[in-house]
């Protein structure tokens, strides 16, 4: 199910044909190639967080965060890799990183690292590693945040502090455990996530998620501004999306087509070519 956040009357979507508009949409999603654009390893100078950057020179850049570290979450996670491969195949610059903290805390330092990662890209920090070989590619002007599991709680909060953020995607937010994961500071981060009421948001969960049920997920989605928030439930998928990564990126592709329809014109391949020069303002 793919539904906009409209209480009592959700708009559902077929994953092959968009019945709302009558146009084919998800079928335009390109296949993930199991060969990424070459990523370069880097270190965020403030936090020391290790990251991998695929600098493709697009106006848009995607920052991706991983699940909770104490349970083995890192930037090599299958969902994180699927997301960066998906966007790289669309010609979009990506950055994935390992949190430089142990992630047992109230989440403030992790939010700072997401903001640092975004500013590192926006400031062209990844282009200054070799001053003798300056990059011909321009720095991105816009940021799309994608967080998975614990990382989704962090990116949601960080969206309030990144003016150039044009959207936020939360994959499998661990709603039932958010207070424990953030040492009872989850309300602060959810409040931060709601600050930009017009910011487009997509929240995705599997209908067999191990850490949240559908009712709590839909209640969580409905707590966000209805005009800018969409929710999706992937059938027969659990929290880990093993062998369901393509279904997940299909939903993301559908949301991108709907949310940025004027710019994309029904073609996802335009995502890496479109200019996002004007960030959505705080409201």
Convert the pLDDT of each residue in 232-250 to its tens digit: 999 999 999 999 999 999 9
Q: Which of 28-32, 137-141, 218-222 has the highest mean pLDDT?
A: 218-222
Encode pLDDT of 151-174 as tens digits: 999 999 999 999 999 999 999 999
Q: Residue 169: which residues within 8 A CB-CB, separation 6 or more? A: 144, 145, 146, 147, 201, 202, 203, 204, 252, 255
C-alpha–C-alpha distance, residues 248 and 280, integer Å: 25
**pLDDT confidence of 125, banded at 50, 70, 90?**
confident
**CATH number belonging to domain 2-270:** 3.40.50.1820
Nearest to 252 by CA among 5, 13, 7, 53: 13
For residue 179, what pLDDT is reported? 86
State mean pLDDT over 128-139: 58
DSSP annotation of 123 reads T
State mean pLDDT over 186-203: 96
Sign of the Cα pseudo-torsion (8, 13, 14, 18, in order):
positive
For residue 127, what pLDDT is reported? 64
State mean pLDDT over 18-34: 33
Encode pLDDT of 66-111 as tens digits: 998 788 899 999 999 999 999 999 999 999 999 999 989 999 999 9
State if pTM tops 0.95. no
Encode pLDDT of 41-66 as tens digits: 999 999 999 999 999 999 999 999 99
C-alpha–C-alpha distance, residues 192 and 119, integer Å: 18
**pLDDT confidence of 37, banded at 50, 70, 90?**
low
**pLDDT confidence of 38, banded at 50, 70, 90?**
confident
C-alpha–C-alpha distance, residues 178 and 97, integer Å: 21
Task: Evaluate if residue 23 carries a pLDDT over 50.
Answer: no
For residue 30, what pLDDT is reported? 36
State mean pLDDT over 173-191: 92
């Amino acid at each position: 199910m793919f539904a906009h956040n409209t209480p009592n009357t959700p708009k559902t979507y077929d994953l092959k044909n968009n019945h709302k508009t009558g146009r084919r949409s998800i079928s335009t999603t390109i296949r993930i190639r199991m060969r990424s654009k070459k990523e370069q390893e880097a270190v965020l100078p403030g936090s020391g967080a290790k990251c991998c950057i695929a600098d493709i020179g697009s106006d848009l850049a995607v920052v991706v965060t991983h699940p909770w570290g104490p349970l083995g979450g890192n930037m090599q996670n299958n969902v994180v890799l699927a997301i960066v491969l998906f966007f790289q195949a669309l010609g979009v610059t990506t950055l994935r990183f390992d949190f430089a903290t142990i992630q047992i805390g109230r989440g403030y330092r992790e939010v700072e690292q997401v903001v640092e990662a975004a500013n590192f890209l926006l400031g062209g920090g990844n282009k200054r590693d070799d001053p003798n070989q300056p990059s011909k590619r321009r720095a991105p002007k816009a940021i799309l945040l994608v967080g998975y599991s614990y990382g989704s709680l962090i990116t949601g909060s960080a969206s309030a502090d990144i003016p150039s953020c044009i959207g936020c995607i939360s994959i499998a937010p661990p709603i039932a455990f958010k207070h424990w994961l953030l040492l009872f500071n989850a309300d602060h981060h959810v409040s931060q996530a709601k600050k930009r009421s017009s910011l487009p948001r997509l929240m995705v969960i599997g209908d067999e998620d191990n850490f949240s049920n559908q009712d709590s997920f839909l209640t969580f989605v409905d707590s966000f501004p209805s005009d800018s928030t969409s929710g999706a439930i992937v059938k027969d998928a659990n929290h880990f999306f093993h062998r369901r990564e393509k279904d997940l990126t299909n939903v993301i592709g559908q949301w991108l087509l709907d949310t940025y329809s004027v710019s994309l014109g029904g073609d996802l391949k335009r995502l890496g070519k479109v200019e996002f020069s004007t960030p959505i303002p705080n409201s």
